[in-house]
Amino acid sequence: QVQLVESGGGLAQAGGSLTLSCRASEEIFSINILAWYRQAPGKQRELVASISNSGRTNYGDSVKGRFAISRDSAKNTVDLQMDSLEPEDTAVYYCHGRRTAYPSQEYWGQGTQVTVSS
């Protein structure tokens, strides 16, 4: 079973930056889609960004142009570079992986807190 471990969360000022990292226990080429989700108090979990093993990326509308997702096969990590942070970015951020072969499987990390103060 794939294990995902997030790191890099913390406190930032509005306009600042943070980088989140998620390390997988398996080679990430075997995980078709890696993604970051977040969940803020009182809100549903939402997709922040995703990246396929071919390098195709998708971003949530609220973070496009500010965040960037990348994967490093040598380190088995998926990173999220967050710039121009806003208080609305405050949430628990979760790493997610999906294997699309039938039957599909998905994996979640434990989450890392990001807090942005104004």
**What pLDDT digit, counting tens, does each position of 40-61 carry?**
999 999 999 999 999 999 999 9
Model confidence at 19: pLDDT above 90: yes
For residue 30, what pLDDT is reported?
87
Q: Is-contact 46 64, C-beta < 8 A?
A: no
Per cent of the chain over pLDDT 90 is 91
Pick the closest to residue 3 from 32, 30, 24 (CA basis): 24
Mean pLDDT of 99-106: 90
Find the farthest-apart pair of alpha carbons in the chain and give their distance in angstroms, rounded.
45
Model confidence at 72: pLDDT above 90: yes
